[in-house]
Amino acid sequence: MRILQLCNKPPFPPIDGGSKAMHNLTRGLLKAGHEVKVLCISTPKQPLVLDHIPKDYAKATRIEGVFVDTSVNVVDAFTDLLTADNYNISRFFSADMDIRLIRLLTEESFDVVQLESLFMTPYIATIRRYTKARIVLRSHNLEYVIQDRIASGERNILKRPYRRFLAKQLENYEMAVLDRVDGVAAISPSDAEHFLAHGTRTPIVTIPFGVDPTEYPADGHDGRKAPIFFHLGSMDWLPNEEGIRWLLDTVWPKVLRKCPEARLHLAGNKMPKDLLESDCDGVQVKGRVKSATAYMRKRQVMLVPLFSAGGMRVKIIEGMAMGQAVISTPIGAEGIACTDGRDILLAATAAEFAERIIALHRDPARAAVIGEKARELVTRAYSDAPIVQDLTAFYKKLLRG
């Protein structure tokens, strides 16, 4: 099968959840014997640097990028507000990218064009015009759900109505797109249910984030020492920043009152200056780390305090693959077939979150057991091979139809 993978940012290097989701699926498709051509947007934030791409990967994918300035522009955002366009989406459209896509579709034939995220949907019209390939939206998140949750948590009464307007505008766009593609590969069952609830007849399949468990060796938490609690995530993503500030302001003081020796480590790209300079008991804060895997392996319990996320949290799957215990809000663990108390601990309130942290601090052996069960879950349900198999079976069904 010949697949054109259109990405809203470079899938390599896989430095965040989105790029990892794209890269892992590309790798899995190649291993399964399919041809994959990668065409991506090279952004100011995440440029494609071909010299940094491994030669075998570059040769296999023939990866290339087109620079698009996706930086937020206040004037353009206001113009789109007046014209009812959605700026979150329209800033990813570029005439240069469109021209390159036209040339590519004119020169080569593909069976499937895989749109990585909603942000690549502005190119649907061009794809329809120049190829008969099936168009599949690989939905990484339900973007409107994220925006709606952010709006619900917005404390500024002037910003809240604007955020709700943007969320509704995005929902209308996202649901309208369903009728313009041939299939949707949702990243979680809950996202698939959201799509189906809107009455779409477009075929939908759940294709979760997958990993190669051999890339995540579990060092094993011996269960004798108190675990180090940690969070690792890009802090220029608003849900992460909201969650961490809630953790530090509301949860951590409750923990320290009962466990003053507890330790919390925070790291992530674009860490706010005030957090880097904060002096909170038991808390160590860093910015971007050289190796996310190395950072995670030195710590034992992952904290995921999210309230406005959607889709599926890649970091949770990676932490579980390493045999780490995870404490998360229910929203943070959405889309993962986990069981509270067995392979994960869930907490909906600050008091519950603090209780879960305190419990594992006092009983490290339990953290080790939860980590072992978590790794078993990932190996069974989130390995690359069966996930790719499900996706290609879906593609073959679309091609027959």
Tokens of 62: 């023939």
- Give the 3-state secondary structure of residue 304: strand
> What pLDDT does 151 receive?
63
Judge whether 115 and 135 are in contact, CB under 8 Å: yes
Q: At residue 147, what are phi and psi to the nearest 5 degrees? A: -65, -35
Q: Are strands 183-186 and 264-267 parallel, antiparallel or unpaired?
A: unpaired
Nearest to 87 by CA among 77, 100, 74, 98: 77
> What pLDDT does 393 receive?
97
Tokens of 138: 């690989």
Taking phi first (over 0 means left), then psi (-120 to 50 degrees means alpha), and beta for anything else, what does residue 311 get?
Answer: left
- pLDDT, tens digit only, all 401 positions of the chain: 999 999 999 999 988 888 999 999 999 999 999 999 999 999 998 999 999 999 999 999 999 999 999 885 544 444 444 344 465 688 899 999 999 999 999 999 999 999 999 999 999 999 999 999 999 999 887 666 666 666 666 667 767 776 777 777 777 888 889 899 999 999 888 888 888 888 889 999 999 998 998 888 876 566 678 999 999 998 988 889 999 999 999 999 999 999 999 999 999 999 999 999 998 999 999 999 998 889 999 999 999 999 876 667 889 999 999 999 999 999 999 889 999 999 999 999 999 999 999 999 999 999 999 999 999 999 999 999 899 999 999 999 999 98
Whether the ω angle into residue 13 lies within 30 degrees of 0, i.e. cis, is: yes
Judge whether 395 and 136 are in contact, CB under 8 Å: yes
> What pLDDT does 78 receive?
44
Domain 2-210+384-400 CATH (choose: 4.10.80.40, 3.30.2290.10, 3.40.50.970, 3.40.50.2000): 3.40.50.2000
Tokens of 65: 């990028």
How far is the C-alpha of 241 from the C-alpha of 306, rounded, in Å? 9
> What pLDDT does 80 receive?
42
H/E segment holding residue 221: none
Residue-wise DSSP of 81-121: HHHT--HHHHTT--HHHHHHHHHHHHH---SEEEEESGGGG
Q: How far is CA 242 from the centre of its chain?
A: 16
What's the fold here for domain 214-381? Rossmann fold (3.40.50)
How far is the C-alpha of 236 from the C-alpha of 304, rounded, in Å? 16
Q: What is the CA radius of gyration of the chain?
A: 21
Asked if 2-210+384-400 and 214-381 have one fold, the answer is yes
- Give the 3-state secondary structure of residue 37: strand
DSSP letter (8 states) at residue 249: I
How far is the C-alpha of 50 from the C-alpha of 31, rounded, in Å? 22
DSSP letter (8 states) at residue 284: E
DSSP letter (8 states) at residue 226: P
Residue spans per domain, the chain: 2-210+384-400, 214-381
Tokens 């947007």 -> residue = 41
Half-sphere exposure of 263 (CA within 13 A, CB side): 10
Q: How far is CA 339 from the centre of its chain?
A: 21
Taking phi first (over 0 means left), then psi (-120 to 50 degrees means alpha), and beta for anything else, what does residue 165 get?
Answer: alpha
H/E segment holding residue 233: none
Judge whether 149 and 273 are in contact, CB under 8 Å: no
